[in-house]
């Protein structure tokens, strides 16, 4: 089932928790409302006997209806809920509390002790606190995480702030992944990326700073001038000719450990999770951007990736364009590139050449089916006219969609020629794969690259991408060669920094001739597929990981399991490593089959094993495409997620700032906080804090006063529903022993989403293109 449908089912269980036919009001906060908007429109919510959707922090008037609170579990929200039913107030008939994430035990007890027993009817943790972008894609929408996870910690003071921000993001990331697993009902095996060619990065390298600085301070004949940053000596590996084994904890392992700990705690509190299923046990991969630093630099020519690379698409969804209306006039419109657009869905994962062919073919069929709208002198009777008028809105919408995507494809092709991307992409592919189209080692890259760097028609962004990929290919270059490349490209200092700062992703920018280590990043092996596009030969490492795991040939030293290992991998047969990939399942066929109408058998994911891969530090649109193409080729249901989605332009911009001291504690793309936010809670320098404190900090809003008090007895309106019902305690308090009579819990492993009563008491919650060479 698509992720958005699973999320919608979670929210529906809350909205429909009150018996049908009963009117109710829905109370949300800013964050929960934004999540709700991704799967529900306002009109559909109101059609479920909801009188209105009101912000929690607003001056709401008392109403004699049941209230559903769909909220983020923050201390501020809890206090505001209690204010609705304290000091003589009875804002609503009853309260049904639904939190999108796990709530702290202390706050759960505070709610149950301060809301009258006949008011609190439900208390449920939905665990759906993540963003579903597409059917198989999710994100945390935290672009600042790239800086907190990989940024230069800086000096002592800034390092403390960087480490605090890092700890916060790791904790939020792990809890968001737990929310995903609870939503899809999976307790997976967990594998993580363990590099061997570089040490820990970002704040995780801070603990080794003193020992490393000793090596950095050592002079060497090849050392850069004194005015340069120590990072160049770090990139060169110091003066030692011996390769030093990395020491310390890596980012992927750190996140994987946090996920496993949260999952173990969740399962201990929810013994019915996961619910029984016919699926094989899922596998979760935790990797990070340093595993494949080349993927965001490449020019990709798959439709979705190319559109987001070359055209001004906002957040991967909103595209402003000029449209010609039926009267011949020009209009400005904003197109939403979402799954509500069937034309977009049909071509987004196709190579641009195939996308253009598909758009032209489908538009031709569409024009023939609606020939009556074009006139042409044919006789049209009354019945035909009625049918045409009935289908007119759909016709206009489809016509606009076809026109939009044909124009987008045409604009991409124009930029392809203008920017000389056929020449640039050939150099990029040779550098990224390490092979020419014929499978030979590239020997003329410099001769092909330098004219592009000298060409003023090639943008500086494209030059940065070419040089960065070349340095990746050479595993570092001599310092003098690096300077010459910058001079040829006429790069600004900030653009040079974008390349130089790749050292913070574990890449050697300056080669050390004394380093004889054979270890390096994961590289693609040459494989020739019939009809493969020459400019789309690179296979993202994410794809290699998924395929190699499927065929039991994924190196367990590079991708160990955090806890349990599948029985079939304990003693892996050597024959499995030799299992060939059938050519019929090639993902690089010149005539791929995924754009065709899928059969029911191909689209049915019931019973298929799930593979979830999370990329910390940003994922690309080409990696998102793999969730669909690799899943279909391997017969798996694959979900991919990340802290955020990145484009080549965003990636280069982020690299420019990555080397700034303390950038993690003060990133260019900070957490979105309210201007009046009180700031971070007091904590020991560099020490982690609780997940509850992080939620309280990130989702703080200006306080709004509680509803007005009930009028005194005998005054007009005294009989309205705002008065406290008879029998309720004067202060609204409740002993912990009566919790089981008023508080219900949701077994998040169950499919039907039903609530079950808490039998333990004690006030505790339950668990946490034309003719073109391609």
3-class DSSP state of 314: strand
Q: Which residues contact 676 (CB under 8 A, 6 or more apart)?
A: 702
> pLDDT at position 375, please?
52
- Distance (Å, whole) CA 509 – CA 62: 64
What tens digit of pLDDT does each residue of 598-637 get?
444 445 667 899 999 999 999 999 999 999 999 999 999 9
Task: Say if CB 641 and CB 180 are below 8 A apart.
Answer: yes
Distance CA 73, CA 736 (A): 20
The full 3-state SS of 702-722, as one line of letters, equals CCCCCCCCCCCCCCCCCCCCC
669-705: buried (b, 16+ CB within 10 Å) or exposed (e) per residue? Answer: bebeeeeeeeeeeeeeebebbebbbbbbbbbbbeeee
pLDDT at 379: 53
Contact by Cβ (8 Å): 743, 386: no
- Residue 307's SS3 state is helix
Cα distance between residue 462 and residue 452, in whole Å: 9
Q: pTM, whole model, 2 decimals?
A: 0.84
Instruction: Find where tokens 């960087």 sit.
Output: 162
Give the containing element (helix H, strand E) for 13.
helix 3-15
Rounded Cα–Cα distance for residues 601 and 605 (Å): 8
Give me the phi and psi of 467, to 5 degrees please: -65, -40
Q: How far apart are CA 561 and CA 191, in angstroms?
A: 4
Mean pLDDT by 10 residues, the chain (774 residues): 94 93 95 96 94 94 95 96 91 96 96 94 97 97 97 88 94 98 97 94 72 34 40 42 59 97 96 92 97 97 97 95 77 91 95 94 81 52 52 72 91 95 96 92 94 95 98 94 96 97 95 71 79 89 96 94 84 47 37 42 70 98 97 96 97 96 89 79 78 94 74 52 36 34 37 39 42 52
* C-alpha closest to that of 725 among 250, 90, 175: 90
CA 240 to chain centroid, in Å, comes to: 40
Please tell me the predicted confidence (pLDDT) of residue 751. Answer: 37
Nearest to 517 by CA among 222, 290, 241: 241
Contact status, residue 537 vs residue 617, Cβ threshold 8 Å: no
Helices then strands (H, E): number in the chain? 27, 16
Q: How many CA atoms lie within 13 A of 89 on its CB side?
A: 22
DSSP-assigned beta bridge partners for residue 71: 99
Residue with tokens 């003329």, as numbered in its chain: 444
Q: pLDDT for 77-108, tens place per residue?
A: 999 999 999 888 899 999 999 999 999 999 99
On the 0-12 / 13-18 / 19+ scale of CB atoms within 10 A, 370 is: middle
């Amino acid at each position: 089932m698509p992720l958005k449908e699973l999320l919608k089912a979670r929210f529906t269980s809350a909205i429909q928790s009150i018996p049908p036919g009963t009117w109710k009001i829905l109370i949300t906060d800013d964050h929960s409302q934004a999540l709700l908007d991704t799967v529900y429109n306002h009109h559909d919510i109101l059609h479920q006997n909801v009188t209105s959707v009101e912000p929690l922090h607003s001056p709401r008037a008392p109403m004699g209806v049941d209230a559903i609170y769909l909220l983020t579990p923050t201390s501020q929200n809890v206090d505001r809920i209690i204010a609705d039913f304290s000091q003589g107030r009875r804002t609503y008939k009853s309260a049904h509390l639904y939190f999108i994430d796990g709530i702290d035990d202390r706050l759960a007890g505070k709610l149950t002790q301060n809301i009258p027993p006949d008011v609190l009817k439900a208390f449920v943790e939905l665990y759906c606190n993540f963003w579903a972008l597409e059917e198989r894609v999710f994100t945390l929408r935290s672009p600042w995480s790239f800086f907190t996870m990989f940024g230069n910690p800086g000096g002592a003071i800034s390092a403390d702030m960087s480490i605090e921000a890092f700890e916060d993001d790791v904790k939020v990331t792990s809890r968001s992944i737990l929310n995903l697993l609870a939503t899809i009902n999976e307790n997976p095996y967990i594998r993580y990326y363990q590099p061997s060619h570089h040490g820990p990065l970002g704040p995780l390298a801070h603990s080794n700073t003193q020992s490393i600085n000793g090596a950095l301070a050592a002079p060497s004949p090849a050392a850069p001038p004194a005015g340069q940053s120590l990072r160049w000596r770090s990139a060169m590996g110091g003066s030692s000719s011996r390769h030093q084994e990395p020491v310390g904890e890596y980012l992927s392992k750190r996140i994987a450990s946090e996920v496993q700990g949260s999952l173990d705690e969740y399962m201990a509190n929810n013994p019915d999770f996961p619910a029984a299923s016919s699926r094989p046990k899922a596998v979760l991969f935790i990797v990070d951007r340093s595993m494949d630093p080349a993927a965001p630099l490449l020019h990709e020519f798959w439709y979705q990736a190319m559109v987001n690379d070359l055209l001004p698409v906002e957040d991967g969804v909103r595209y402003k364009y000029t449209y010609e209306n039926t009267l011949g006039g020009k209009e400005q419109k904003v197109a939403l590139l979402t799954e509500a657009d069937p034309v977009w869905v049909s071509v987004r994962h196709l190579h641009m050449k195939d996308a253009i062919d598909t758009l032209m073919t489908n538009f031709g069929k569409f024009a023939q089916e609606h020939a009556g709208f074009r006139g042409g002198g044919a006789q049209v009777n009354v019945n035909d006219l009625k049918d045409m008028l009935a289908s007119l809105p759909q016709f206009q919408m489809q016509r606009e969609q076809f026109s939009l995507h044909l124009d987008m494809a045409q604009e991409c092709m124009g930029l392809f020629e203008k920017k000389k991307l056929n020449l640039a992409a050939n150099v990029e592919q040779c550098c990224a794969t390490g092979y020419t189209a014929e499978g030979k080692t590239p020997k003329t890259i410099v001769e092909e690259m330098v004219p592009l760097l000298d060409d003023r028609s090639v943008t500086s962004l494209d030059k940065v991408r070419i040089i960065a990929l070349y340095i990746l290919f050479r595993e570092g270059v001599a310092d003098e060669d690096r300077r010459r490349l910058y001079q040829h490209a006429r790069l600004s200092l900030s653009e040079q920094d974008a390349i130089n700062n790749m050292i913070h992703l574990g890449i050697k920018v300056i080669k050390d001739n004394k380093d004889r280590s054979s270890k390096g990043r994961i590289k693609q092996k040459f494989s020739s597929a019939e009809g493969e596009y020459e400019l789309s030969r690179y296979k993202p490492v994410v794809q290699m990981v998924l395929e190699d795991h499927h065929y039991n040939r994924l190196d367990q030293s590079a991708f160990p399991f955090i806890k349990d290992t599948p029985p079939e991998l304990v003693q892996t047969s050597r024959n499995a490593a030799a299992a060939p990939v059938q050519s019929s399942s090639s993902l690089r066929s010149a005539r791929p089959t995924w754009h065709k109408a899928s059969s029911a058998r191909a689209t049915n994911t019931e019973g298929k094993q799930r593979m979830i891969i999370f990329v910390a530090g940003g994922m690309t649109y080409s990696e998102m495409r793999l969730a669909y193409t690799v899943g279909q080729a391997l017969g798996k249901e694959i979900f991919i997620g990340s802290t955020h989605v990145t484009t080549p332009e965003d990636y280069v911009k982020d690299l420019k700032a990555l080397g700034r001291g303390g950038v993690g504690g003060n990133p260019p793309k900070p957490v979105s906080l309210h201007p009046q936010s009180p700031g971070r809670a007091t904590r020991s320098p560099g020490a982690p804090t609780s997940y509850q404190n992080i939620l309280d900090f990130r989702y703080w809003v200006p306080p709004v006063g509680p509803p007005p008090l009930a009028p005194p007895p005998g005054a007009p309106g005294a009989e309205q529903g705002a008065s406290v019902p008879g029998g309720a305690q004067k202060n609204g308090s409740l002993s912990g022993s009566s919790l089981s009579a008023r508080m219900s819990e949701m077994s998040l492993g169950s499919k039907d989403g039903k609530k079950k009563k808490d039998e333990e008491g004690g006030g505790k919650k339950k668990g946490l293109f034309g003719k073109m060479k391609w």
